[in-house]
């Protein structure tokens, strides 16, 4: 049974996703957007201290492990593997700006189209 905290987290994720898609549509038409397909806060709330996220789409998967609650350590794994550059971008205003993030992936010297993850609150 889904309780109020899980429902609130799910609503927050849906809101951030819709805001992120709207922002991408206005500013970054040359990017594809990877959607959140797994978030341990919602999909496995009793999974421990590490928050696990999975973004997927367009034949690409990005797994993100977030350690800590105040001092965050973030581990990323991209599939398929190979030379890839990853940039993180955060929102620039509001009290939660430092925790709102999206990752940009691009492959130097490749014809692979760049992708960005949906915005997520870490």
Task: Indicate the length of the chain as a whole number.
Answer: 122
pTM to 2 decimal places: 0.71
| pLDDT value for 22 | 59
Query: pLDDT of 56-105, one tens digit each?
Result: 999 999 999 998 877 778 899 999 888 999 998 876 555 554 578 899 99
If one compares 1 and 117, the residue with the highest pLDDT of the two is 117
Query: pLDDT of 2-16, one tens digit each?
Result: 566 666 777 777 766
Gap between the Cα atoms of 67 and 49, Å rounded: 7
Q: Which residue, 96, 105, 44, is CA-closest to 118? A: 105
| pLDDT value for 23 | 55
What tokens appear for 86 in the block?
Answer: 């990853």
């Amino acid at each position: 049974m889904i309780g109020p905290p899980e429902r609130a987290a799910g609503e927050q994720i849906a809101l951030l996703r819709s805001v992120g898609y709207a922002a991408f549509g206005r500013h970054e038409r040359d990017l594809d957007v990877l959607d959140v397909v797994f978030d341990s806060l919602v999909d496995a709330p009793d999974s421990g201290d590490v928050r696990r996220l999975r973004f997927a789409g367009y034949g690409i998967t990005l797994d993100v492990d977030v350690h800590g609650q105040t001092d965050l350590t973030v581990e990323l794994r991209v599939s398929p593997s190979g030379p890839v550059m990853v940039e993180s971008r955060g929102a620039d205003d509001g009290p939660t700006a430092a925790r709102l993030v999206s990752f940009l992936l691009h492959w130097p010297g490749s014809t692979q189209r760049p992708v960005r993850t949906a915005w997520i609150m870490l």
